[in-house]
Amino acid sequence: MSTNLPATTKARTDVAIATGNDDFVTMTIADQLFGIPVLQVQDVLGNQKITRIPLAPPEVAGSLNLRGRIVTAIDVRLRLGLPARDRDKPVMSIVVDHRGELYSLMVDSVGEVLSLSSDKYERNPATMDPRWRDLSNGIYRLDETLLVVLEVSKLLNFANLEAA
């Protein structure tokens, strides 16, 4: 437990104190740009063979083998309440470490790593979809578009979802 506490606290303070620049891996889902702090990202994967897990929550797409470790795949689209992706569309995944377990976040595409300055950061607008607001840590104003920062720990917090 204690091994990952520093990581999460650090991520949070990065956003909160926000002095200087933070690095994010960007990705798109349904034409919306999202970002995850680069330090939490382990891997970026292309299409993978995924084993279905019966009885699992619908957001859990299955599990896959990443160099001998079993990784649980989460369909971020479904997690965000978006419609499922077309079968023939390509999938990319970002592998993150959460409390010692690896999770693969399935997204439409993965972009570059951006270093974003804190003066472009803003809290979530109050009018945002509550489901998104729960999973997001804030917004960065980019030149052409907006980047929603996803918080991995909330994204993987299924217990809360069930309780709610």
Partner 1 sequence: MDDLLSEFLTETNENLSVLDVELVRLEQNPNNPELLSNIFRLVHTIKGTCGFLGLPRLEHVAHAAENVLGKFRDGELAVSPGAVSSILESLDVIKGILAALEQTEAEPAGDDSALIARLNAIAEGKDVAAPGKAPAPPAVAAEPEPAPAPAVAEAKTPAPVVKAPPPPAVAEVAQTKELVVQEAAPEPPAPIAPPPPVHAAAPMGGDADLNKESAVAAQTIRVNVDLLENLMTMVSELVLTRNQLLQILRSQKESEFAAPLQRLNHVTSELQEGVMKTRMQPIGNAWAKLPRLIRDLSHELGKKIDLQMLGADTELDRQVLELIKDPLTHMVRNSADHGLETPVERLRAGKPETGRVTLNAYHEGGHIIIEISDDGRGLNIERIRQKAIQNGLATEAELAQMSDQQIAQYIMRPGFSTAQQVTSVSGRGVGMDVVKTNIEKIGGTIEMKSQTGRGSSFIIKIPLTLAIVSALIVECAAERFAIPQISVIELVRAASDSEHTIEHINGTPVLRLRNRLLPLVSLQKLLRLGDAQEQSETFIVVTQVGTYTFGIIVDRVFDTEEIVVKPVAPILRHIEMFSGNTILGDGSVIMILDPNGIASASGEMMVSETAQSRETAVAQTTNRDDRMALLLFRAGGEAPKAVPLSLVARLEDIDLATVEISNGQPVVQYRGKLMPLVPIDAGWELRREGRQPVLVFADGDRSMGLIVDEIVDIVEDRMSVELAHERPGLMGSAIIAGKATEVIDAGFFLTQAYKDWFGSAKIEGFDEERQNRVLLVDDSPFFRNLLTPLLSVAGYSVTTVESPEIALELREQGEMFDVIVSDIEMPGMSGFEFAQAVRRDPRWQDVPLVALSSHASQRDLDRGRQAGFTDYVAKFDRDALLSALSQTLVEAKGAAA
Binding stretches for partner 1 (CB under 8 A) = 1-3, 49, 51-57, 60, 62-65, 68-70, 72, 99-101, 103, 156, 158-159
Distance CA 16, CA 58 (A): 32
Q: Is 7 helix (H, G, I), strand (E, B) or coil?
A: helix
Query: How far is residue 105 from each of residues 29, 59, 78, 127, measured CA to CA in Å?
Result: 11, 10, 11, 26
Q: State which residue, 3 or 19, has the beta carbon closest to partner 1.
A: 3
Q: How far is the CB of 131 from partner 1 (least distance, A)?
A: 17
Of 4 and 118, nearer to partner 1 (C-beta) is 4
Q: Which is nearer to partner 1, 33 or 135 (CB)?
A: 135
DSSP state at residue 152: H
Supply angle C-alpha 102, 105, 107, rounded to 5: 160
Decide whether 69 or 141 has the Cβ nearer to partner 1. Answer: 69
Minimum distance from residue 80 beta carbon to partner 1 (Å): 17
- In the complex, what is the shortest distance from the CB of residue 102 to partner 1, in angstroms, rounded to a whole number? 8
Residue 31 CB, nearest distance to partner 1 (Å)? 28
Q: Compute φ and ψ for 120, nearest 5 degrees.
A: -95, 0
The three-state secondary structure class of 83 is coil
Q: How many CB atoms lie within 10 A of CB 111?
A: 16
Q: How far is the CB of 5 from partner 1 (least distance, A)?
A: 10
Judged by CB, which is closer to partner 1: 104, or 136?
Answer: 104
